Structure 1
Amino acid sequence: MKSLTQGAHHIGLTVADLEKSAAFFTELLGWNEVARNEQYPAVFVSDGTVMLTLWAVKQEPSVAFDRKSNIGLHHVAIRVPEDSALDQIHQKLLAHGVEVEFAPEPLNGGPMRHMMCYEPSGIRLEFIWPGE
């Protein structure tokens, strides 16, 4: 059967600090801010392939997601264009005090490589080079 869908248009993430999360993507990773919605509020960012909608949390106190006990988003995996990009991202994150879960390493014996970190609101991100 032919798939009825064509990949992700965007991924919506609720974040604790809208400006810090937006800056993580735009300033550290070089993504573009596509739009803002001050009424919600939300910031839309894109790397040219995928768009993330960063929504400000509405209720305080907020509750952090726990991937081991909650149903929902486990992590977002972002593809990088080349192996060396993983090391560049890793160094940039460390230099800016971003929590890195693990440094770039082979995935399933390689040649794929990946790393995990947490953006400022605590959302788990994977950066992955598919080894192509």
Structure 2
Amino acid sequence: MITYSGIHHVSLTVRDLERAKAFYTKVLGLNEIERPPFDFAGAWYAVGEGGQQLHLIVHEGETLRQGEINTRDGHFAIRVGSYKEAIAWLDRQGVPYEARPFAKAGFPQIYVLDPDRNIIEFNAEQYDGE
């Protein structure tokens, strides 16, 4: 049997690394971390305090999606401390989102697209909005 200790990282493909880095660093506020000297372009980010990471990989292949937010499509989720604060931050940054404060999942969710149309879910333990 395999014993799991958590998710180490999620990798996303991007076409324009500088545009993606601007989004993840300046808009979402993630901290870029050191990345090994691979022979392809990319960037790594720390997510939270538990050692989880987000890896961006430049790729021109056909794995990139074209459509709008579809929550059944591949995505990754980041747990946030406050649903209300996440909504306020996204509003200040001008990031369009799909808000689901009373989602059927049992916790509030917010969905956004990055510049390469990767879907990101932000969710909170509970709804703390008004």
Q: TM-score range by the shorter chain?
A: 0.7 to 0.9
Residues 124 and 97 of structure 1: CA distance in aligned 2, closer, same or farther (over 3 Å): same
- Which deviations, in whole Å up to 9, do the C-alpha atoms of 1:89-108 show, x marking residues without a partner? 333333434332x1251222
Rounded Cα–Cα distance in structure 1 between residues aligned with 2:105 and 2:121: 17
Matched, 1:107 2:103: yes
- Work out whether residues 66 and 117 of structure 2, in 8 Å CA contact, stay in contact via their aligned partners in 1: no
Matched, 1:94 2:91: yes
**Structure 1: which amino acid aligns with 2:14?**
V
- Work out whether residues 13 and 63 of structure 2, in 8 Å CA contact, stay in contact via their aligned partners in 1: no
Which position in structure 1 is the counterpart of 2:29?
30
Matched, 1:125 2:126: no
Q: Name the SS for the 1:106 alignment partner.
A: coil
Rounded Cα–Cα distance in structure 2 between residues aligned with 1:17 and 1:106: 35
Which position in structure 2 is the counterpart of 1:45?
45
Question: What is the CA distance between 1:74 and its match in structure 2?
Answer: 1.2
Q: Name the SS for the 1:23 alignment partner.
A: helix
Superposition TM-score, scaled by structure 1 size: 0.73
Which position in structure 2 is the counterpart of 1:16?
15
Q: Name the SS for the 2:101 alignment partner.
A: strand
Superposition TM-score, scaled by structure 2 size: 0.74
Question: What is the CA distance between 1:40 and its match in structure 2?
Answer: 0.8
Which position in structure 2 is the counterpart of 1:70?
none
List structure 1 segments (4+ residues) > 6 angstroms apart after TM superposition. Answer: none
- Work out whether residues 90 and 104 of structure 1, in 8 Å CA contact, stay in contact via their aligned partners in 2: no
Identity %: 27
Rounded Cα–Cα distance in structure 2 between residues aligned with 1:22 and 1:54: 9
Q: CA RMSD in A?
A: 2.9
Rounded Cα–Cα distance in structure 2 between residues aligned with 1:109 and 1:55: 30
- Which deviations, in whole Å up to 9, do the C-alpha atoms of 1:10-68 show, x marking residues without a partner? 11111122122222222122211102447310100112332011001235xx563268x
- Work out whether residues 12 and 55 of structure 1, in 8 Å CA contact, stay in contact via their aligned partners in 2: yes
